[in-house]
Structure 1
């Protein structure tokens, strides 16, 4: 009986630790669809427009309880002041795991240039919010009958994200710490297991290249993410292109995500190792004050649960827009 209990606890621990739903707002490639505020609180109100963004993400349409994510964000400057506020709501589901969360953000933007034509700005942001984690273990009796029937474990935790951004002409860089505080986590079957350290470190940088008189712009960028508790590190290499049109702007690109940590598996002849890697093409259009984007993420590994990828739609609306002040190719600002 003790062995069964131990195996049950280990099973629950593994599937819970491996689920994206346990890290707060999951970090995918949706920030590339004019949505950097989702991962960097210092991006709240940085644009000359107030912005609303709604995203819907779904994986494996032919599978029940497949991973899905929905987010709603809004952020804006406070009048003509250097301060800004924002908010994020999200609902993340992954099989038996789910989480519902909300954040409120305050950001402040400091100008170092003598005028607003030459962009030289340092921004700070702080987000605070609550996340409800849930684990539905009602079906786990199939594996072990000692688990209470119909049990639904849940926990609500408070946490904060802090970050800073720097903009100089066509260059930008961001640094953020997500889930700064320790969480109480979810105790599994009163065994005392919990997930306290959800801290994630994010660093992003990019540059927008533009030839005078051309309607094209090109933006290479990189994002590095490190999870403190598991010592996992991955990076995104991104390429994005913009084309100015009479009605607005067309844009699209490709993102490549690669983990620096591998997972071992049996390949029939021995033990092999593979590292997580995603290819994510995306395409979007800015039409007047509206934005529409589609993103597809394909996992390019030898061993996968399903060949299907992530599909994501993003809809945005800009309002309370001010005059474009800065003489730069800086889409996130202008």
Structure 2
């Protein structure tokens, strides 16, 4: 089967996927997949097709625990153009959210170095310098499974807001990528409109205003002559509706091996908005913050990654750890 046929078979299948609606994005982008959060990063370091699947799990041992599945698909149709798909499926008890995006990305090269290797990562011997623009159209929604509820009357607010509500959105971004320095900026939900909302009672409909999420990130690669390289990076997010923002401070170590490379890293996140809680005789405010150790492997055409996120605050649960496992392949 050719690459083109394989890509469109996956495209038809992926339209059935479900995903998250409008949260601040988590740390999965550090599993070597900035396309999860930046449309303009579709097709970076790619020649052909790339498929990436990840799952985030927590609260093991708890029935109907939160779980999120993620999938991205990139197909470099020409040297300058890439088509992409990204999908998220989030389940938490009776509630589920979904979102999937279709992306078009156009790339401008500032030199003659067009990525034409089977490697999925750059080295110090590459001379990459490119600017890309990405645009995504997305479809999202929220569902509430009430089939197991034992009640005599229905709640019209719950029914109208959460039962099969769908939205259409547009995301856009720009990215500059070079062998050493890279930077990206994206705006999610530039346009965010309901697809199947009925009725004019605004008290019973979701407020579609102010849903934009702004994301900016910078990475800097430090290469050595002995097969090691280091990557400090930062990422900032701002959510318009809640006025919340988060800052990620990341550091990754890479080691070249035969047919691939290993990586280890650590990420620290802190949000702006705090939560008030009673600490004995006084009320205190605590902002969300966490550590995320990162590890992964590129081996030939495959990629494997693992992350574990732990909350650093005093407000916690016995099931606070979050596991992320990812696997990818380049064809």
* Correspondences of 1:192-231 after superposition (within 5 Å): 192-196=204-208, 197-211=210-224, 213-231=225-243
Contact 1:253 1:283 in 2 (8 A): yes
- Separation (CA, whole Å) in 1 of partners of 2:76 and 2:294: 28
Aligned to 2:155: 147
The answer for unaligned runs of 5 or more in structure 2 is 1-18, 115-125
Aligned to 2:274: 262
User: Which of the numbers 27, 32, 39 marks the counterpart of 1:41?
Assistant: 39
Query: Which SS does the other structure have where 2:75 is aligned?
Result: strand
1:263/1:129 Cα in 2 relative to 1: closer, same or farther (>3 Å)? same
1:169/1:290 Cα in 2 relative to 1: closer, same or farther (>3 Å)? closer
User: Which of the numbers 152, 167, 191 marks the counterpart of 2:177?
Assistant: 167
Aligned to 1:63: 62
Query: Which SS does the other structure have where 1:156 is aligned?
Result: strand
The answer for unaligned runs of 5 or more in structure 1 is 1-19, 320-334
Aligned to 2:6: none
Q: Is 1:129 the equivalent of 2:138? A: yes
The offset of 1:183, in angstroms, is 3.2
Task: Give CA deviations for 1:45-88 in whole Å, capped at 9, x if unaligned.
Answer: 12133311010111111222222110111112213x31111111
Aligned to 1:98: 96
- Separation (CA, whole Å) in 2 of partners of 1:140 and 1:225: 37
Between the two proteins, the alignment pairs up a number of residues equal to 295
Contact 1:57 1:68 in 2 (8 A): yes
Aligned to 1:120: 129
Query: Which SS does the other structure have where 2:40 is aligned?
Result: helix
Contact 1:46 1:77 in 2 (8 A): no
Query: Which SS does the other structure have where 1:312 is aligned?
Result: strand
- Separation (CA, whole Å) in 2 of partners of 1:114 and 1:54: 32
- Separation (CA, whole Å) in 1 of partners of 2:276 and 2:150: 29
The offset of 1:275, in angstroms, is 0.6
Q: Is 1:53 the equivalent of 2:52? A: yes
- Separation (CA, whole Å) in 1 of partners of 2:73 and 2:249: 27
TM-score, normalised to structure 2's length?
0.81
- Separation (CA, whole Å) in 2 of partners of 1:242 and 1:95: 38
Aligned to 2:29: 31
- Separation (CA, whole Å) in 2 of partners of 1:51 and 1:219: 23
- Separation (CA, whole Å) in 2 of partners of 1:183 and 1:95: 26
- Separation (CA, whole Å) in 2 of partners of 1:232 and 1:296: 23
Contact 1:125 1:164 in 2 (8 A): yes
- Separation (CA, whole Å) in 2 of partners of 1:146 and 1:243: 58
Query: Which SS does the other structure have where 1:303 is aligned?
Result: coil
Task: Give CA deviations for 1:3-49 in whole Å, capped at 9, x if unaligned.
Answer: xxxxxxxxxxxxxxxxx94416x611110111111100001112133
Q: Is 1:291 the equivalent of 2:300? A: no
TM-score, normalised to structure 1's length?
0.81
Aligned to 2:244: 232
1:187/1:308 Cα in 2 relative to 1: closer, same or farther (>3 Å)? farther
